Amino acid sequence: MNIPNLSKRMSLTVATVFCMTAMTSAIAAAEYPEKPITIVVPYSPGGGVDIVTRIVTKAMSDELKHPIIVDNRPGGGTNIGMGYAARAKPDGYTLYMASNTLTTNKALYSNLGFDPAAAFAPIGKIGDASLIVVVTKDAPFKTLGELVKYGKQHSGELSFGTAGTGSSGHMASELLLRKGGFQALHVPYKGGSQAITDLLGGRLSFMAINPLEVISHIKSGALQALAVLNDKPTVLLPELTTAEKAGVHGANATVWWGLVAPTGTPDGAIQKLNGALNNALKKEEIIQSLAKLGATPAGGTPAQFANFLKKDAASMAELVKSANIKVD
């Protein structure tokens, strides 16, 4: 047997297979997508995450030349929708609209059943917005300082609603309690709109929420905004004081959004989706639509979004531990 010739033939065979695989992947990436794409939103329709999803995916759909269907799967602190998307076939046709719970739920739930960081491949960050604290017009406190003082003097009386356990509003409220030094009962819902309804009805004391979800109620006078949970104002309410100026230091909180896909999704599909997302975020009408919601577009590469997710997960894990937040 001629060993050198056999080795040469094996090398040529391996090279041929490698080239064919690369060509097949390139062809698949060029053809993707070939059918409608579904984006799972883990909240009820009408909330902030749902609104942002529909704004951005309309522009992405135009870029990709295929429809994008929004599939609302609320409940379980977003674990129902997140788990469904994590188990989906990694072919680029089922995506997940990620927000703060993607980086908090691992720390919150001991029996989650999957690791969000390992279950998803980042596509790109959409943007973020500062949260604000709101109360009803008849609340006995008119400033953030008065809310904190009331909470200290009336232990166990206050309650706050959120779009779900681990949501941006939940973690922001927990941070506010920790920095303000008072206690309040957490009441989780399956979406922000449901919590707002109960706040308007006087069944909750306050909410930490994206201003886009309550701006109409603030303008009508049904709700009053106490402060921005940030060290700079929000464009939606430029005159609203910040938590820092109100005397509550370090209570900075934002809601963020981004797209991810089940781990194993072809890189060609990830890159094509990332390109469509970045192009959508550059469109003036999208920038203006997000600005009206108090949101700032982000964009960037999948690697940049992955780095953001890693840092945010570490920060949220520290908050969950230090505040002794327990869910299960």
> How many whole angstroms separate alpha carbon 325 and alpha carbon 109?
10
Mean pLDDT of 270-276: 98
The strand pair at 94-98 and 37-41 is best described as: parallel
Q: What is the DSSP letter of 190?
A: S
In degrees and rounded to multiples of 5, residue 205 shows phi and psi of: -90, -40
Q: How many CB atoms lie within 10 A of CB 169?
A: 30
Domains of the chain and any CATH numbers:
36-128+255-322 (3.40.190.150), 130-228 (3.40.190.10)
**Residue 19 binned pLDDT confidence (cut-offs 50, 70, 90):** very low
Q: What percentage of the chain reaches a pLDDT higher than 70? A: 91
Tell me: the pLDDT tens digits for 123-180?
999 999 999 999 999 999 999 999 999 999 998 899 999 988 888 899 999 999 999 9
Say what the pLDDT of residue 3 is.
Answer: 53
Q: Is the dihedral of CA 251, 257, 262, 267 positive or negative?
A: negative
Greater model confidence, 323 or 88? 88
**In this structure, what token pair is assigned to residue 87?**
């188990």
Q: Determine the 3-state secondary structure of 306 from DSSP.
A: helix
> How many whole angstroms separate alpha carbon 290 and alpha carbon 247?
30
Say what the pLDDT of residue 293 is.
Answer: 82
Mean pLDDT of 109-128: 93
pTM of the model: 0.79
Q: For the chain, what percentages of helix, strand and coil (3-state, to nearest 5) are there?
A: 50, 20, 35
Q: What's the mean pLDDT when you consider all of the chain? A: 89
Mean pLDDT of 72-88: 94
To which residue do tokens 């997000």 refer? Answer: 290
**Residue 103 binned pLDDT confidence (cut-offs 50, 70, 90):** very high
- CB neighbour class for 52 (10 Å; exposed up to 12, middle 13-18, buried from 19): buried
Q: What angle do CA 98, 104, 110 make, to 5 degrees?
A: 120
Mean pLDDT of 40-51: 89
